[in-house]
Structure 1
């Protein structure tokens, strides 16, 4: 990617992470689904320290239940997946534009560079990996073509 950019431009590897969270231990029905962003140019020892604020909250994904009505279980699962993907697409849309055109950002040495943010990593636990990869939870690996029996 770097070789395709104009001279003086740089790639900014974007790392996205999500983790659906229970907000109440007593009722069990209040959840939040935050989506965080950081960049790969920041040293991992800094990114892992919450006190360094290297990750920012960029949005919340919907956690509302989908009324089943007369839909099949498969239709409900598909509707949830479509809702998830539509929300992620909307949240990350500004990155698509910035990746194509670049955005001027000041580097650590004070020089302004034309930066192209590129989604490099989506960090998630196994259930969320399955959702992101559009694979059925428990049926196959969301990262490769291995079935659950392999």
Structure 2
């Protein structure tokens, strides 16, 4: 989900700002201001809070031998300091979901339905659709209602505030990025978001149009 990354300081704010946490980033501050500026439903006057969601997912083997594995989705809150999130004993990570993998029966089903075996490209597309279907289950109608209108939560200080969840980061490795975007592995471009051909990666950092000598 797109966010404004430009930060416009007001005249009362200092000209310099130290960036070290997600909650001090321009994206977080701009999103907080955007939410606070929107009129609340039924004239609600509760303080608005941005719950910054940070996601990770990675298929993990459970043992050195065998094929047992899990594909978890972890969720952190950027409202917490990175020095807290980085400590395992703080239990800042939340297991959001586990993505299932295609079973061996998919080939039998495909053979019966189309009278030919599934190709590697078809299986990749099926894995992509399966992963997207899991996210559709997670981002359901209740979540989207909370995303648009917020959800009232009583904080530890006894004050109720209206909390708006927002996605800020989603970290995955290269194979999962290609699976999410359903693009060819190790194709012409290095990742789903980059338009630089791999042949020109060596020119990164040079002037535009300047070839390496």
**TM-score, normalised with respect to structure 2:** 0.63
Question: Within 2, Cα distance between the matches of 1:72 and 1:57?
Answer: 33
1:58 and 2:96 aligned: yes
1:1-150 alignment runs, 5 A limit = 1-2=34-35, 3-4=37-38, 6=40, 8-27=47-66, 29-65=67-103, 67-68=106-107, 69=111, 70-93=117-140, 94-107=142-155, 109-139=157-187, 140=189, 141-150=191-200
Q: State the shift of 1:116 in Å.
A: 0.8
Deviation sequence 1:49-84 (CA, Å, 0-9, x none)? 111011111110012335334222211111111011
Unaligned stretches of 5+ residues in structure 2: 1-33, 112-116, 201-213
Task: State how far apart, in whole Å, the 2-side matches of 1:5 and 1:110 are.
Answer: 24
Question: How far apart, CA to CA, are the structure 2 residues paired with 1:147 and 1:77?
Answer: 23
- With CA pairs under 8 Å and 6+ residues apart, which has the higher RCO, 1 or 2? 1
- CA displacement 1:75-126 (0-9 Å, x = unmatched): 1111111011111221233432321221112346442110110111111112
Provide the alpha-carbon RMSD of the alignment: 2.0
Structure 1 match to 2:10: none
Question: Quick check: which one's helix share is greater?
Answer: 2
CA distance in 1, matches of 2:159, 2:77: 18
- Is the radius of gyration larger for structure 1 or structure 2? 2
Q: Distance in 1 between matches of 2:54 and 2:39?
A: 20
Higher strand share: 1
Distance of 2:133 and 2:125 partners within structure 1: 12
Aligned residues: 149
- Distance in 2 (alpha carbons) for counterparts of 1:147 and 1:85: 27
- Taking a change above 3 Å as real, the CA distance of residues 25 and 135 of structure 1, as seen in their structure-2 partners, is same
What residue ranges of structure 1 are gaps of 5+ in the alignment? none
